Every structure is written in C-alpha cells, then in structure tokens.
Structure 1
Amino acid sequence: MQTNQLKKVTAAGLLVTLGIIFGDIGTSPLYVFSSIIGNRPITKELVYGGISCVFWTLTLQTTFKYILLTLQADNRGEGGIFSLYALVWRYRHWLYFPAILGAATLLADGIITPPISVASAIEGLNGVHGLENIIVPGNALTIGIVIGIITLLFFFQQFGTKVVGSAFGPIMFLWFSMIMFWGIIQIFHFPNILAAFNPYYAIELLVKYPNGFWLLGAVFLCTTGAEALYSDLGHCGKKNIQVSWIFVKVALVANYFGQAAWLLHSGKTTLGGLNPFYEIMPHWFLIPAIVIATLATIIASQALISGSFTLISEAVSMNFWPRITIKYPTDVRGQIYIPSINWILYAGCVGMMLYFKDSNSMVVAYGFSITVAMIMTTTLMFYYMKFVKKWSPLIIALILVIFISVESSFFVANVVKLAKRWQFLIFEISLVFTMYVWFKARKISNRFLHFENFMQHFDTLKKLSFDTSIPKYATHLVYLTKANNKKNIESRIIDSILKKRPKRADVYWFVHINRTDEPYTMEYTVDEMVPDKIIRVDFNLGFRVQPRVHLFFRKVLEETMDYYDVKGGARYGCSNTKEISTDIRYVIIEKFLSVENEFSSREGFILRSYFAIKELAQSDKKAFGLDMSDTEIENIPMVIAPATSVKLQRTELSQVPMHY
C-alpha cells in the first residue's frame, strides 16, 4: 500500500495505523497500574485517585497536546522533533538546543522500552499453573527468554519489516480489542469505579494522600508513547492517527478502569506481586493473553527502533550527527536500517535487562527522559504557534499554562528517579554531547570558509581545459561545493584545480546539495555557467533523503543528454547509443585540524572533539554515495585561529654549539 493511500482515512489505513503508531502507548497497561499501587495498601482513595490521574493525563497530554495540537505541526506530512525544529529554527538561533536535548532524551529512554515491555508480558507466565516456580521475575530463565526475544528483534532489523509488517495492524487490533473487552467485564462488576472520571479524585490523591504527588512518576508512564506517536506522523497521516486514537483511548481507559475495578472488588489488601493486568482475565485465557501481549510488545519495540532510525537519519541530514552507514532493506518509502544505531540500542536494551532484571525494577527508572523530551517539544511548539500559525497571544498563553503546569509536575515527580537511573545519564549526556559538538563545530568551521568570485576564474578554467600540454585528469571533474550563491566558489576548490598539479578536464561540474525543510524533496537544476565547460548542479533534497551523489549525478547526465540542455556530444560520454561515459572523477576536500591554530578554550575543545568523533564516523566518500574508484580525497589543513606571534629568537652562529 502506498504512503499517500495510507494517509487517507480508510479501514485499511486505520488498521495499519494501529500497528505502527500506538504500540508503545498501547502496551502501557501492562505495568502502569501495578507501578502506581506498588507495595501500598489498596484503598479507595489510592485506586480512585490513581485511575483519575491516568485518565486526565491521557486526556491532557496525549489527546489535547499531541493528537489535537502537536499533530498540526506537520512538516509536509512528517512529524518528530527535528521536523518541528525545521519549521521554527529561523526564528531563534538557540532553538537547536531544545531540538538536540529532546532528540537525545527520546533516544536514551528508548533503550528501556523494549525490555520493560517484553519483560512485563513474559512475566505473566508466572500466573500459569505449573510455571509459578519456573518463570519468576528476575530469575535467569526469565531474563534469558526476554533477552532472546530482544536479540531476534534486533537481528531481523537488517531485513526490514515489509513482510511481517502487514500483520502488525491485525495483531494490535486484536490486542486493543482484548484489553477493552476484559476491562469492560470488570467495570460491569464494579460500575461505581466510573466515578473516577471526576478530576476531584486526582486532585485529592495529589494533595491529601501521603506522598501522593510523587505518584505522578508512575502515572506518567501511561503517556510515554505520545512523543513517539508524533515522530511517526509521516507513516500514516494525521487523520488516520486522530480517528484511530478514539478506539485506542476507549480501549486503554476501559482496561485501566477494569484493573481499578478489580483492585477494589477482589478483596486484596495489597498487590503482593500480582499484576492487575493479568488478574482481570480468567485463568483459561491467560496463555493466549500472554502470547498476544508478547506480540504487541514486540510490535511496540519495533516501532520504537524504526523511529530511532528515522530520528538519527534526520539528525545526519541536519548536521546534528556524524555521517554513518544508512541502508534501505526494502523498497518501502522511509524504511531504513542503521547498523551502528541498531546494535547500540541492542547493547543498551540487554544491559538494562541484565542490570534491572525484572519489569518492576525498570518501571522505577522509566519516564524521566520522556518528560524532558516533552518539555522540549512544548518549547518548540511555542514558537510554532507564535510565528508559523500566528495564533492569538491569549490562546498561546492559556495552552502554555496548561502544558507547563502538567509537564513541570511530571518532571519534578520523575527527578527522584535519577538516583535509580544514573547509568542513563551517561548515555544521554553522550548523545547530547555528540549532537552539540557536531552542530557547533560545523558552525565554527563554516564561519571560516573563504569564497571567491567564481566568474573571475572562468577564463582560467577554459584555458586549462584546452591546454593539451597538461595531462587530462578526467572528462568530467566533479566538486561538491557549499556555496549557496552560484557566483561564488570556495577558495580551496579553486586551489585544488589550479595550484600544485593543475587538473585539466573537458567539463568542470560543481554540485551543491541544498537541504529543504520538506522531508522527501528530490529536485535539481542545471546552470551552464560556461556552455559545455563549467556547469553547476543544485540538488534540492529533503531532510529524509539520503544524498547518493553518484546515482543522482548520472541521472543528471542522462537527462542532460536527452533534453540537450548541455551540448557537447561525446565529450559528455554521449554516443549514438546514448551511453553515459564512466570517465567521471569526484574530488572531495577533507580538512584536518592544523597544529598552527591558537583557539579559545571553548572552540578548541569543540573542534578537537569534533575531529575525534569524525574519526569514528563514516567518510564523506561513503556518506555521499560515491564510487571508491572514481573519487579522490584531498586533505587540507584547517586553520581557523592561526598563531599571530612566534617567540623564536635568533642567535649568532658562533654561539651555537656544533654537533657532528
């Protein structure tokens, strides 16, 4: 099914949306209510207040903020924090930082979503007769099963999800139908639980219940998938998400209220290690429920992994992340595979499982980073509402008061988790550091790019091209240029062509890649600056398009030949059979940090870190999709802050001792 068809509100589109969008938030009933109750005595005040908090959190954060408001901030149909940043970056120069912090924290908390979801499902086997002493939360067998499932999940990422992806929608429809059905059954047994829709119970819990405010850290888990929901906007479209959310929210609310009804109807005084999600079901249905829950958690994890790939791909395109290998395992638009990120996430997930051992321990450490990501989205949304949508200041102020009040409360309640999750800070700080250094270093180096008037070199390049005394370097010589203005060219490119060993070519091509704010733009223009001799090609590529320069350039040559925009016959590799010449030589100019620089401490640290990270990153040759044999790398020293004074003293020759 084509992407544009999925964005229409159809039964098929809604079914696919269930499989792609709502996996994370949809599996939260597995652990949210057991986390709220914990080891506390089961009381009406706690249960009514907890379920009321869950309902109003889903209403304010997920429904109001994301489904109704944030989904409006679509960038040509695409969502996510970098898509939002692409819409507002021009209004304030510092908005790169909330984009970086939001993306990094979203990725960091992603390493705990697969293990906590899968573990919550597998641990349900503990309630099956005969398995009580075998599948025990935290024992080696349970941990091994969870790690085995996670290993298979990450291993199959390299093959894409085109085949099994078609089953995601039906499975998630079955999942939501199941949790809604058993929840409604429990509500029939104790219909008085519906009184918890009244926000009074939520307020009473937070204000009067002992340490009730800190329960918000557990309540927040019900909305952790909302940020990922926005990131997946481009896969299904706004309308499909909004319509399918009606069914999803009804199912979630029914299940949460059903769990609350069981807690008050069962006569239990404490949970005692029981999970109310499984307790509301009859024992004969437990194994089918666990199978469906496991499949649902795998789908939820898959959605999170795919979203991480997309996020990093956007970061690479927008100069927030080093260039890395990106693969396309299927012909499905937007489906990518990033090996390095896949195995980093895998290592993180396994590490979390081995460290925390069971889902209850992981719940304690879950949620802090997502609150940070949500606050960063709110920050960017303020500038979107103010400058892009131009809404009334009164409406914007009202929206901000609601979101800031809710999210700051969740943030404070989750701060106490830092002691339980200090290991996450290492990963999060590493991500933020990498993105910040890469972004700022590119800004610093671009400040010292020297451009010249390109037109003043036209005659020299023409003479060089016809000078047969110099061996021909290539038929088509191609340089990548950062000059936005066609009249300019980098000094280093001119030096590369004319100085030392002049590079004679029949045609000089200068290729510029312009990243658009739209996700999937693929356009180009050709400008014959000197007919048949000096030609500039501008590629306009969306921030989700991988720049495969060699493939795109050959397409330009073919169409140039077909439409006769550029003349030159065989000089362009054209023959009567319309074959493209293979005599194309690309030159990439790479910089290294010169020892002659004298930086400020800040810039020196950023640039040295940048070049250290660059050693681990993919080369420009691979990143731009250039054939190995047709590309030459020229290394030049990067001198940003040259030494202005050298304290070197001359002495008389007679005073210098002679050594032989």
Structure 2
Amino acid sequence: MAESRQRESSHTANQSTQSEEQKADERMRETLLKADTFTNAPKVSRKTTTKEEREVIAKQQEEEHKEAEKLAKTATKGAIGRWWTRVQSGPNKVTFTMAIVALGVVYGDIGTSPLYTMQTFLNGQGGIQHADREAILGVLSLVFWSITLITTVKYVLIAMRIDNKGEGGIFALYSLIRKYGAWLAIPAMLGGAAFLADSVLTPAVSISSAVEGLKTIPVFEPLFREDANLTMIITAVIILLLFSVQSRGTESIGRVFGSIVMVWFAFLAVVGVFNLGNDWSVFAALNPVYGIRFLFSPHNAAGIALMGTVFLSTTGAEALYSDMGHVGRGNIYFTWPFIKVALVFNYFGQGAWMLRNQHNPALENVDSLNPFFQMMSPGVRYIAVALSVTAGIIASQALITGAFTMVAEATGLNWMPHLQVRYPARTRGQLYIPVVNGVLCVSTLAVLFLFRDSEHISAAYGLALTITMITTTVLLAVYMWYNRHKVGAIVFSIVFLSIQIMFFIASMAKFMHGGWFTMLLTLLILMIMVTWNDGTKIERSQRRHMKRKDFLPALEKLHGDFRIPYFADNIVYLTSDSEMKRLDTDIFFSIFADHPKRARAWWAVSVQTTDEPFTREYSVEDFGTDYLFRVKIRLGFKVSQSIPAYIHQIMHDLEHTGELPQQKSQYPKLDADPGVGTIKYVLIHKALMPESTISQRGALSLQMKYAIRHAAGSPVKWFGLAPYNPLIEVQPLFLSTRRPPRLKREANNLRQIESSEDVLALTKSSTKSAASKETKDAKETKASAKAESQAAKSGGAKPAAKPAGGAKQSVAKPQAAKPSAVKPAANQASKQAKPTTQHHPGKAGGVSKQTGSGHHGGEK
C-alpha cells in the first residue's frame, strides 16, 4: 500500500516536472517568437508631440486664457487698469512666479555686497578709529551714487531696453550692432571673456566670505581655531552641491532661492533701519558733494583705490542685464525698487553704526572688523550668518546662470564650439550646459584651493568685471549712435566711461595681490574665442557650392555604374550648411575622392534649432532626381535631437509619396528596418595640410580650433549617432599649397650606368622642358618608324631599337668576371625601359607625367 502511494506520488511529481518543463519551453518559444520579429530601428510616433508636451501646451494655453480674461476685467477699471493691461500685454509683462524667480536668479550677487564692502573700506582706511564723519559720509555717498548711476540708470533704465529677442548681455547686444563694423567683435569678445572669468571667482568669494561668518559665533569659534582648513572644506562642499543641482533648471532653483532672497533683502532693510535709530543725519550722504570731496581729500588713506572698494557694491549690475532672458525685463523692473531700497537702508545703517562706534576702544584691536555682523546683537547674528551663507550660494547662481547664457550666445556667434545644451524649463532662456557647468565647478574649486580664504580671493575679485562694464558701455554707445541718438551716445559715453575707467584704474591695484589670476583667465577665454572665430572664418572662406548642372551628371553616372559596389544603400551627410539649392563641394569631394561612394541615395541633412519649444518640421529638395536629397530639419529647442529616428521617418515618407524608390532589405529579419536599406552616416572634419599657404596666425587658429573641438566633444553625441558607428571623414582645407622642390635621385642608385658621363647626360636630359622632350621623342619615333619601313621593303635586317627620349646609349666595357654577351642585353633592356617617363621640373610634388597619358603617376 505504501509502495503504491509512493509510486503515485513519484508519478505525480514527474507529471508536474514535465508540465513545468513544457511551460518553460512554451515561454521560450514565445520569447523566441518575439525576438524573431523584433526590430531595433529608431522609430517616431504618429503624433508630432508627446503626451507630456501636449499637457504642457494645454496648461500654458489655459494659463494664457485665464490671464486674458483677468486682463479684460482689469481694463474696465479706470486709467490704472488700462495702464496695467498695456504693461501685461507688452514685453514688460510681470508675473508673480517669475518675479520670485528674478529675486533668486538675478539679485544674488548684488545682494551679498553689504557683507564685505564696508569691511574693505575700513581696512583701507586703517581701522574704524581712522574713519571720521567725513570719510563715512563720503563712502556712503559714493556707494549710493554708484548704485544709482551704474545699476539703475545704465543697466535697468538704458541697457535693458536694448534686447535681442528678449535676451540681454554683451553678446546679445553685439548681435544687434555687428553690422556697423567688424572691430566691434573685439570689445564684445573681451567683455564676454572677462564676465566668464569673473563667474569663476564669484562662487568662491561669496560662499567663503559667508562661511567665514561662522567664526564670529562663540559656539563655533573653537572648531575653526583648531582646524584652519574647516572653512575651506565647508565652502568646497557647498560649491559641489550648488553645481550638482544646476541640471534641474533655474526655474525650480529660482523658486526656492527667490523666497529666501526675499527674506534676505527684507532682513537687510530691517537691520539697517534698526541701526539708523533716530539719527537720520547720515542721509546727508545723498548729496554727491560728500563723495567727490572725500575721494580727493588728503584724509583718504586709500586714495584712488577707494573706487575699487566702492565698485564692490555694483558687482551684480552686469548680471541683471545678462539674466534678462531668463526672467523677463518686466519682472526685473518690478522687483528692482524693493532691492535698491533694502541695499540703501543696510549701507546707511552700517554707516550710522560706524559713526556711533568710531571711538569705541573695544573695536580698535579687532582684526578685519566687519560692520555688517558687528552691528547686530549676538542672538541676531545666528540668523545673519545662516542667511548670508544662503545669499552667497544665490550670488553664485546669478553668475552661473549668466555664464550659461553667454556661452550659448557665443556659440551662436561661432566664437565657441557647439556644446550640448539642455532646456529644463519651458522657456528657451532657461538653459543648462553640462560641459560649462563642469568646467566652472572645477575652476571654482581650483580658485578656492589656490587662495584658500575670502581675503585673498577678494584681491582678485572685481577686476575683470570692470572690463566687462567698460566694453558694454562702448557697445551701448555705438547702438545709440546708429539709432538716432548721437547726442545721447556722446553724453552716455563721457559720463559712464569716465566713472568705469576710474573703477578699472582703482581695481588694478589688486593686480599683484590676485588680480593676475582673473586677467589670466580672461586672456585664456579670449584666446579661445579669437582662435575659434578666426578658424571658422578660414573654413567658411574655403566653402564652395556647386550648381545643379555641375554635380548632377557625375552623380547620375556614378549612380548607374554597376561595376562599383554599393558603399551603402543610403549615405547621410550631416552638415551645418544651410544652402538648399546647391551642393557643398565637401560632400561632392567625399563622394568621389579615393574610392567612389556609390549609393541608392545620397542625403545632405542639416538641423536647425527654433525659438519655439516643440517644433518638428522638415523640408526636402530632390534636385529633380530620386537619388539625391537635401533635407533641412527644424526642431524646437526642447526637442531631443534624435536624428536617426527622424531620418528613418523621412525616408518612409518619401517612399510613400514615390519620391524615393522602394528599398527592401535582402535580410528583412536581421535588418533593423526592413523597409529601408542600410544607412551610413558621415561627418566631415577639416584638416590643415602642411603645404598650405596660410599665415602663421591662421594656421595657429585652425590648429587650436581643432584641439578645442576634440576636447569639447564630437558632434556624434549631439546628433545621437553614437550607436550607429558613423564615419568621421577628414578632408583637407582647399587652400592654395606651396610646391616643394623636386627630389634628385642619388647617382649611385642609377642602374646600368657606370660612367660619370652617363650620369651627367641623364641629369641634363631630365632637366629639359616638357615641350622640347616631347618634340624630340616624336622626331626619333618617326625616324625609327621610317627606317624600319625602308628595311622591310628592302628585305634587310631590322635595325635595333633606338632608345627614345634622347638617352645616351652606354657602351659596355668587357670584364673578366662576367660574360660579355650578358651585359649588352641588360643594357638594352635598360635603354628600352627609360623612355617611358618624362620628368618635368617644377611640377607640384615632383609628380612625373606620362607621355601620351592624362593621368599622373601611372605608366604609359
């Protein structure tokens, strides 16, 4: 009984095992069936937008509809309502969300200036005990009028009215006036390079100065005393975190930072008003006479260098202009009054505190006295340090955001290599460039580890930014001059150039104390811009286009030449050329150079980025053929450049319309896309030949451009071609070349010639002109033929063949060691072989030309 139960259980177990194996086999067959019909071809959706994009568009349209309804109601509420409606309907539109973003993105740099401006002033005067009422009112007057003239008047009221499709900054300004003179590129490049160099120092000086405020708190003071590098370590960690969140976009960052900055500026205003107390006499500094009098007073211990200190209060002014495209002009107009009032109250509050504590003996021996922290009670100082650290981070954000914008604009001007750009937000102005983010992060950490603390970093800070302000003033004056404001341009130039040149001279005092580093960075970035621009100009000057009648016959002949196997069914050239009706000679040269690249169809494809976020369009020119196509793809700035997928779609579309013949793969189950033949992508890079006749500067520019391009990354990644093994083809620049001297054959290398007379005769023969050689050969050939004809008629022996080309026949000398019958035969063969080549001195590369042949380097 037990045995039968055991047999039954074992039988049941076997059945269950077999059933599991059968199910596994079925799953395997099902998996194999799916894999057999699998295709990894890049595909596109039937719809021109994704679900997420449609949701974004619908949300945006709904917001616009609600805004329109709200404005319609506002317009009915009197004159103020009509004015607000006009503002919201124009380019100066204000939204609460973007106003908060503006606070976080734009004002961070200028918001940290109260942390160190007055501290630098006291250090320059020798301490608070040497800063009398005249000095304090004088520096407050200079600070107030510098903020008013430079930030408010120049940038907010004048510069921000001059934009390029909503974008601000020195490069956008240059794009508007570049038609007025090629020399304008020099100040534009110099100003942009200085701004980018200053973007490296701003995070280091802002964050480190804020972190050093922790030393003033009694609880943390022992920690910083034990470890001198603790400040540097904390600063490095904050910098790494700041750069790591840049990929999320300035909109998400700005919303968080904006709320904090609003609290920060409110804190600045409250602390300043509190320290004013009931003594409002400090506002006498609003009179500019106090500032001018103290600047040239013998009591000014810093001299003209005082203007370098005053300039620190305006360091964030350029960021307002460069970040305009990120947040909108109207939002900056709306928020600036609040920012300026808060800054003025804080500066004047520090001034009132200094006046009250001028003779305080407890402060005379304080090293690097900072009025910003000292004017607060110990309890409030905790909040001040926490907010100042955050403000330092936000200050860095303003410069990082401006750097992204400047690099993108420089790329559009062909002053920098094309880098991968991402747009995390809905607006094109909010962008993220991974390479630039990484370079800025590494450079900022290098500055931090090189200078170690804010005192040494601040010595280099601000010098480069004075150059940017001067160049911006020059370009603004040019714009005003050519736009019917010549008198205004003259007044504008005199006023602002005089002030900013004074700032520059004062800042040059920092050169030996760290300013050299900023200038070195500026020159390095300027060199990249200049060399890339020069190299691009040289390359474009060599670009040539062919008309249809010049390239179509050759392509048609190659297309039908069945002796040549297909290089690929489709050859796709990625090009930056925007010409649609003609063909770039680089592509034509690539097709026919060396081994001709025969294909069923050739494609020249260019990609253009539009200002709209979700554009997906293309246009095609077929030149009246079914084998040559010029394609222009237009993609929105937020659309991923999945070029292979779009190429497949275009091919299928043209097959459907009959413009492209059907291409069926011979191995449909192994091919990625059975409906389209094989595709080979080709990218053409230029190379400079050693024999090119080009100036040393031009050659250096090209070599540096190619080195920068190699370091910046390949277009293969930009276009999404990495998985498709594209062909990177290097072509020479079509520049005129020098002809090197002709090679001379060594005398001991000549075969079957043993006397010096024979060598001399051959050398003389090889240096004769081509015309005389061909004439003599023709005569000798005709005479030989005539002699043979006469001998044939007379029945005589056929004469020996006479060497052509006028070569002298050498007489063999009998030698004992060799049979005399052998050497004449060898000599005869040598003589018969010599006439096949004529040497032409002066031909490029010493190439020999064959008699009666149109090909170089071949045999007759």
Q: Tell me whether the two structures share a fold, i.e. TM-score over 0.5.
A: yes
Q: What does residue 713 of structure 2 align with?
A: 618
2-side partners of 1:347 and 1:317: how far apart?
25
Instruction: Tell me, yes or no, if structure 1 residue 490 matches structure 2 residue 581.
Output: no
Instruction: Tell me, yes or no, if structure 1 residue 636 matches structure 2 residue 735.
Output: no
**1:243 counterpart letter in structure 2:** F
Q: What does residue 430 of structure 1 align with?
A: 524
1:403 Cα shift? 1.3
1:198 Cα shift? 0.5
Say whether the 8 Å CA contact 1:482–1:490 is kept in structure 2.
Answer: no
Instruction: Tell me, yes or no, if structure 1 residue 452 matches structure 2 residue 546.
Output: yes
Instruction: Tell me, yes or no, if structure 1 residue 24 matches structure 2 residue 117.
Output: no
1-side partners of 2:349 and 2:171: how far apart?
38
Q: Which residue of 113, 127, 142 corresponds with 2:231?
A: 142
- Relative to structure 1, the CA distance from residue 242 to residue 580 in structure 2 (aligned partners, 3 Å threshold; closer, same or farther) is farther
Say whether the 8 Å CA contact 1:180–1:251 is kept in structure 2.
Answer: yes
1:287 Cα shift? 1.1
Q: What does residue 204 of structure 1 align with?
A: 293
Q: What does residue 240 of structure 1 align with?
A: 331
2-side partners of 1:613 and 1:314: how far apart?
18
2-side partners of 1:424 and 1:458: how far apart?
55
Q: Which residue of 675, 683, 686 corresponds with 1:588?
A: 683
1:51 Cα shift? 1.0
1-side partners of 2:506 and 2:351: how far apart?
22
Say whether the 8 Å CA contact 1:371–1:410 is kept in structure 2.
Answer: yes
Q: Which moved more, 1:56-65 or 1:437-446?
A: 437-446
**2:346 counterpart letter in structure 1:** N
Q: Which residue of 489, 496, 504 corresponds with 1:411?
A: 504
1:220 Cα shift? 0.4
2-side partners of 1:318 and 1:524: how far apart?
24
**1:392 counterpart letter in structure 2:** H
Q: Which residue of 493, 503, 524 corresponds with 1:400?
A: 493
Q: Which moved more, 1:164-173 or 1:129-138?
A: 129-138
Q: Please report the TM-score for the alignment, with normalisation by the length of structure 1.
A: 0.89
2-side partners of 1:643 and 1:547: how far apart?
45
- Relative to structure 1, the CA distance from residue 560 to residue 263 in structure 2 (aligned partners, 3 Å threshold; closer, same or farther) is farther
1:178 Cα shift? 0.6
CA offsets per residue over residues 290-324 of structure 1, 9 Å max, x none?
Answer: 11221121122123223223322332333212344
Identical residues among aligned pairs (%): 36
Say whether the 8 Å CA contact 2:603–2:631 is kept in structure 1.
Answer: yes
What does 1:38-187 correspond to in 2, within 5 Å? 38=123, 39-40=126-127, 41-135=130-224, 139-158=228-247, 160=249, 163-187=252-276
- Relative to structure 1, the CA distance from residue 410 to residue 252 in structure 2 (aligned partners, 3 Å threshold; closer, same or farther) is same
- Relative to structure 1, the CA distance from residue 281 to residue 64 in structure 2 (aligned partners, 3 Å threshold; closer, same or farther) is same
1:95 Cα shift? 2.1
Say whether the 8 Å CA contact 1:323–1:619 is kept in structure 2.
Answer: no
Say whether the 8 Å CA contact 1:309–1:337 is kept in structure 2.
Answer: yes
2-side partners of 1:380 and 1:51: how far apart?
30
1-side partners of 2:133 and 2:677: how far apart?
77
CA offsets per residue over residues 79-120 of structure 1, 9 Å max, x none?
Answer: 122222222222211222222211111111112111211122
2-side partners of 1:215 and 1:272: how far apart?
20
2-side partners of 1:462 and 1:582: how far apart?
19
1:236 Cα shift? 1.1
Q: Which residue of 1, 4, 11 corresponds with 2:96?
A: 11
Count of residues in correspondence between the two structures: 650
Q: Which moved more, 1:479-488 or 1:600-609?
A: 479-488
Q: Please report the TM-score for the alignment, with normalisation by the length of structure 2.
A: 0.69
**1:177 counterpart letter in structure 2:** A
2-side partners of 1:657 and 1:75: how far apart?
78
Residue aligned with 1:111, SS:
helix
**Using CA pairs below 8 Å that are at least 6 residues apart, which structure has the higher relative contact order?**
1
Q: Which moved more, 1:449-458 or 1:33-42?
A: 449-458
**1:230 counterpart letter in structure 2:** Y
Q: What does residue 813 of structure 2 align with?
A: none
Q: What does residue 359 of structure 1 align with?
A: 454
What does 1:248-259 correspond to in 2, within 5 Å? 248-259=339-350
* Stretches of structure 2 lacking an aligned partner (at least 5 in a row): 1-58, 68-87, 666-672, 754-860
Residue aligned with 2:195, SS:
helix
Q: What does residue 463 of structure 2 align with?
A: 368
1:241 Cα shift? 0.6
2-side partners of 1:115 and 1:189: how far apart?
38
Q: What does residue 350 of structure 1 align with?
A: 445
1-side partners of 2:229 and 2:556: how far apart?
73
1-side partners of 2:334 and 2:675: how far apart?
50
Residue aligned with 2:415, SS:
coil
Q: What does residue 791 of structure 2 align with?
A: none
Q: Which moved more, 1:211-220 or 1:582-591?
A: 582-591
Q: Which moved more, 1:51-60 or 1:499-508?
A: 499-508
Say whether the 8 Å CA contact 1:23–1:172 is kept in structure 2.
Answer: yes
**Higher Cα Rg: structure 1 or 2?**
2
Instruction: Tell me, yes or no, if structure 1 residue 228 matches structure 2 residue 319.
Output: yes
* Stretches of structure 1 lacking an aligned partner (at least 5 in a row): none
Residue aligned with 1:502, SS:
coil
1:325 Cα shift? 4.5
Say whether the 8 Å CA contact 2:692–2:737 is kept in structure 1.
Answer: yes
- Relative to structure 1, the CA distance from residue 348 to residue 630 in structure 2 (aligned partners, 3 Å threshold; closer, same or farther) is closer
Instruction: Tell me, yes or no, if structure 1 residue 290 matches structure 2 residue 359.
Output: no
**2:496 counterpart letter in structure 1:** F
Residue aligned with 2:221, SS:
coil
- Relative to structure 1, the CA distance from residue 368 to residue 650 in structure 2 (aligned partners, 3 Å threshold; closer, same or farther) is same
CA offsets per residue over residues 235-265 of structure 1, 9 Å max, x none?
Answer: 1111111121111111111111111111112
What does 1:536-575 correspond to in 2, within 5 Å? 536-539=630-633, 548=641, 550=643, 553-554=646-647, 557=650, 567-568=659-660, 570=662
1-side partners of 2:101 and 2:625: how far apart?
51
- Relative to structure 1, the CA distance from residue 474 to residue 165 in structure 2 (aligned partners, 3 Å threshold; closer, same or farther) is farther
Instruction: Tell me, yes or no, if structure 1 residue 383 matches structure 2 residue 478.
Output: yes
**1:434 counterpart letter in structure 2:** I
2-side partners of 1:437 and 1:45: how far apart?
51
2-side partners of 1:570 and 1:490: how far apart?
27
Say whether the 8 Å CA contact 1:511–1:537 is kept in structure 2.
Answer: yes
2-side partners of 1:649 and 1:514: how far apart?
54
- Relative to structure 1, the CA distance from residue 634 to residue 238 in structure 2 (aligned partners, 3 Å threshold; closer, same or farther) is same
Instruction: Tell me, yes or no, if structure 1 residue 504 matches structure 2 residue 593.
Output: no
Instruction: Tell me, yes or no, if structure 1 residue 215 matches structure 2 residue 306.
Output: yes
Q: Which moved more, 1:157-166 or 1:101-110?
A: 157-166
Q: Which residue of 302, 305, 330 corresponds with 2:397?
A: 302
2-side partners of 1:278 and 1:656: how far apart?
95
2-side partners of 1:412 and 1:592: how far apart?
44
1:140 Cα shift? 1.5
1-side partners of 2:226 and 2:517: how far apart?
22
1:53 Cα shift? 0.7
Say whether the 8 Å CA contact 2:138–2:285 is kept in structure 1.
Answer: yes
Say whether the 8 Å CA contact 2:108–2:391 is kept in structure 1.
Answer: yes
Say whether the 8 Å CA contact 2:635–2:641 is kept in structure 1.
Answer: no
2-side partners of 1:69 and 1:572: how far apart?
63
Say whether the 8 Å CA contact 1:476–1:572 is kept in structure 2.
Answer: no
2-side partners of 1:408 and 1:222: how far apart?
16
Instruction: Tell me, yes or no, if structure 1 residue 188 matches structure 2 residue 273.
Output: no
CA offsets per residue over residues 349-405 of structure 1, 9 Å max, x none?
Answer: 223223333323322221110000111112222232233xx1321111111111111
2-side partners of 1:195 and 1:566: how far apart?
83
- Relative to structure 1, the CA distance from residue 224 to residue 623 in structure 2 (aligned partners, 3 Å threshold; closer, same or farther) is same
1:200 Cα shift? 0.5
